[in-house]
């Protein structure tokens, strides 16, 4: 009898233990189920289909995110006009009709003036400097603060490096030549051209060549030799000017709908941030590797007139740019905060740059002087 009671009690204990064990097993499975949850996102861009580095960079970003997350995030990418117009990217991501987008912050100056500083500033930081500002100088935090009212989370996703000054249908010898000039040029650089008496025309990439060829615009800037060769601008404008005073280190952006971003597990947020940083470095490397060969082809095969802006003209533009930055910053308290932070950081890194990068390039400059 005692043995039967013992076995009966033992059976109850075993049943309870089994139940506890099953509960523990379920508890252990719960995180695993959460980890395997997948997210299917859409990305819209401001770039024309198949545009090297810009559109292909957005597509590379999506592919790398899927690889890094083992398929937990899958992003379908749409070029400009395929889902929304090029300049509809910001609103589409902000409103949540898509989860992310790729473009350039200076396109959204009409929504918040401060956005322009996060792409490039005339006579401002180069790619190395602006990356230092974002990642180590507080720039990214200011960018997040600027985009927060729009339910957006921004990240650097690329950089073109120093751009070219642009394609012009006439020679540019003095500031007088900007008066009445119709030029496609966005951002703060466009504000400088307008202050100089020019007319700024905002066009997406896919419409620039036709407008230049037909005389709707007299000049355009785009990126650099690798892209400009592909776009065929040399067929529509005779003079190719440098340096790109207006865009010395142009940052490209990926923006996430904040609601969608915040809903992700932390490890997936980190994955998105890491792939954005990787794409940032990749894009700059692509431009640096491709621009030299393209420039040589433009000169040797297409007889492009490569012309440096006169020093007196650059001096005038520099003074006008400084005035323009102050005027734009005064329009909005957030823009003032961003501008002051940018200016302070540029002064800080400029001291070092003058005895490092600039000094080095001056030493080797004669080796690479072009014969024109």
**Cis check: omega of the bond before 75, within 30 degrees of 0:** no
Task: Provide the 10 A C-beta neighbour count for residue 265.
Answer: 15
Over 50: is that where the pLDDT of 1 sits?
Answer: no
b/e string for 89-119 if b means 16 or more Cβ within 10 A? bbebbbeeebbbbbbbbbbbbeebbbbbbbb
Query: How big is the CA angle at 89 (ends 87 and 91), to the nearest 5 degrees?
Result: 100
- CA gap 28, 36 in Å, rounded: 14
Over 70: is that where the pLDDT of 27 sits?
Answer: no
Banded pLDDT at 25 (limits 50, 70, 90): very low
CA distances from 270 to 96, 105, 155, 276 (A): 21, 22, 12, 10
Q: What is the pLDDT of residues 260-312, one digit of tens each?
A: 999 999 999 999 999 999 999 999 999 999 999 999 999 999 999 999 999 99
Report strand pairing: 219-220 vs 166-168: antiparallel
Whether 244 and 221 have beta carbons less than 8 Å apart is answered as: yes
Report strand pairing: 182-184 vs 199-200: parallel
| Residue 221 tokens, joined | 């800037």
| Residue 64 tokens, joined | 């790398």
Question: What would the mean pLDDT of 218-225 be, rounded to a whole number?
Answer: 96
pTM for this model (two decimals): 0.86
Identify the pLDDT of residue 34: 52
Q: Name the percent of the chain lying above pLDDT 70.
A: 89
DSSP 8-state class, residue 44: E
For the four alpha carbons of 260, 263, 264 and 269, in that order, the dihedral sign comes to positive
Banded pLDDT at 26 (limits 50, 70, 90): very low
Closest by Cα among 227, 233, 289 to 47: 227
Q: What is the pLDDT of residues 165-184, one digit of tens each?
A: 999 999 999 999 999 999 99
Whether 102 and 61 have beta carbons less than 8 Å apart is answered as: yes
Domains, the chain, with CATH or none: 39-161+250-287 (3.40.190.170)
Identify the pLDDT of residue 350: 86
Whether 61 and 99 have beta carbons less than 8 Å apart is answered as: no
DSSP 8-state class, residue 6: H
CA distances from 45 to 50, 54, 138 (A): 11, 9, 26
Identify the pLDDT of residue 357: 83
Q: What is the pLDDT of residues 96-127, one digit of tens each?
A: 999 999 999 999 999 999 999 999 999 999 99
Identify the pLDDT of residue 295: 96
Identify the pLDDT of residue 8: 46
Question: What would the mean pLDDT of 223-239 be, rounded to a whole number?
Answer: 96
Closest by Cα among 315, 328, 305 to 233: 305
DSSP 8-state class, residue 108: G
Q: What is the pLDDT of residues 54-104, one digit of tens each?
A: 999 999 999 999 999 999 999 999 999 999 999 999 999 999 999 999 999
Closest by Cα among 163, 165, 161, 103 to 284: 161
């Amino acid at each position: 009898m005692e043995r039967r009671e013992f076995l009966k009690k033992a059976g109850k204990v075993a049943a309870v233990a089994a139940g506890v064990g099953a509960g523990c097993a379920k508890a252990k499975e719960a995180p695993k189920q959460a980890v395997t949850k997948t997210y299917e996102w859409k990305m819209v861009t401001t770039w024309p289909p198949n545009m090297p580095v810009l559109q292909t960079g957005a597509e590379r970003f999506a592919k790398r995110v899927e690889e890094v997350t083992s398929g937990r995030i899958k992003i379908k990418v749409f070029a400009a006009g395929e889902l929304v117009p090029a300049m509809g990217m910001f609103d589409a991501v902000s409103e949540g009709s898509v989860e992310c987008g790729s473009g350039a912050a200076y396109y959204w100056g009409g929504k918040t003036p401060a956005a322009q500083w996060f792409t490039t500033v005339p006579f401002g930081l180069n790619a190395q400097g602006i990356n230092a500002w974002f990642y180590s100088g507080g720039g990214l935090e200011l960018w997040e603060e600027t985009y927060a009212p729009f339910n957006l989370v921004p990240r650097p996703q690329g950089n073109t490096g120093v751009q070219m000054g642009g394609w012009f249908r006439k020679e540019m010898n003095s500031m007088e030549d900007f008066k009445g000039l119709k030029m496609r040029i966005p951002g703060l650089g466009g504000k400088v051209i307008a202050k100089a008496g020019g007319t700024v025309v905002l066009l997406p990439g896919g419409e620039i060549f036709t407008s230049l060829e037909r005389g709707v615009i007299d000049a355009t800037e785009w990126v650099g030799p690798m892209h400009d060769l592909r776009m065929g601008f040399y067929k529509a404008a005779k003079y190719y000017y440098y340096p790109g005073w207006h865009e010395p280190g142009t940052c490209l952006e990926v923006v996430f709908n904040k609601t969608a971003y915040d809903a992700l597990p932390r490890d997936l947020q980190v994955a998105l941030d890491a792939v954005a940083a990787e794409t940032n470095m990749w894009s700059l490397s692509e431009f640096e590797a491709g621009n030299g060969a393209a420039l040589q082809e433009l000169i040797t095969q297409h007889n492009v007139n490569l012309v440096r802006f006169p020093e007196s003209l650059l001096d005038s533009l520099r003074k006008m740019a400084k005035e323009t930055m102050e005027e734009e910053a005064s329009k909005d308290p957030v823009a003032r905060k961003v501008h002051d932070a940018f200016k302070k950081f540029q002064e800080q890194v400029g001291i070092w740059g003058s005895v490092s990068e600039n000094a080095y390039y001056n030493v080797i400059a004669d080796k690479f002087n072009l014969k024109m």
